[in-house]
């Protein structure tokens, strides 16, 4: 078994998804996903990252924010100092693609190590 994604069952699922070309995004989710009704069968979603004194956006959060924005979900940041939502401007130029490439490469390295271990037994 390679990289651990939660429990054993989740890891099996994640490994199968990776084999089919999906990136498995488990880190970097915003603190809140807000939803409100905009009419009959219509909803608005926004994502909010809450940051306190001196906190900054981590690389895994930037990747997730870029992915959400690519899906049309606006991402905001809120701090106790500003007490208002500030729209995040993330340059997704390659951020998500780089993450997917790294996850795929990490998975391939783990699988190769596992294969070599099995061969040596």
Distant-in-sequence, close-in-space partners of 46: CB < 8 Å, separation ≥ 6:
33, 34, 73, 74, 75, 76, 85
Return the pLDDT at 20. 92
pTM over 0.85: no
Return the pLDDT at 54. 77
Residue 96's nearest CA partner among 65, 58, 75, 57 is 65
Return the pLDDT at 34. 95
pLDDT digits (tens, 9 = 90+) for 83-116: 778 877 655 555 555 655 555 555 555 555 655 6
Tell me the two tokens of residue 11: 């890891």
pLDDT digits (tens, 9 = 90+) for 53-71: 778 888 888 888 888 888 8
Tell me the two tokens of residue 72: 């049309």
If DSSP codes are grouped into helix, strand and coil, which group holds residue 43?
A: strand
CATH number of 27-111: 3.40.1350
Cα gap 106→2, rounded to integer Å: 9
């Amino acid at each position: 078994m390679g990289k651990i994604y939660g429990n054993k069952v989740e890891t099996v699922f994640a490994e199968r998804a990776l084999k089919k070309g999906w990136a498995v995004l488990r880190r970097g989710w915003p603190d809140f996903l807000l939803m409100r009704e905009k009419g009959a069968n219509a909803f608005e979603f926004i994502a909010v990252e809450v940051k306190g004194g001196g906190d900054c956006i981590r690389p895994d959060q930037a990747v997730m924010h870029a992915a959400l924005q690519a899906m049309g979900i606006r991402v905001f940041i809120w701090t106790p100092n500003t007490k208002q939502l500030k729209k995040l401007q993330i340059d997704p130029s390659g951020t998500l693609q780089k993450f997917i490439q790294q996850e795929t490469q990490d998975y391939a390295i783990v699988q190769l190590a596992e294969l070599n271990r099995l061969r040596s037994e």
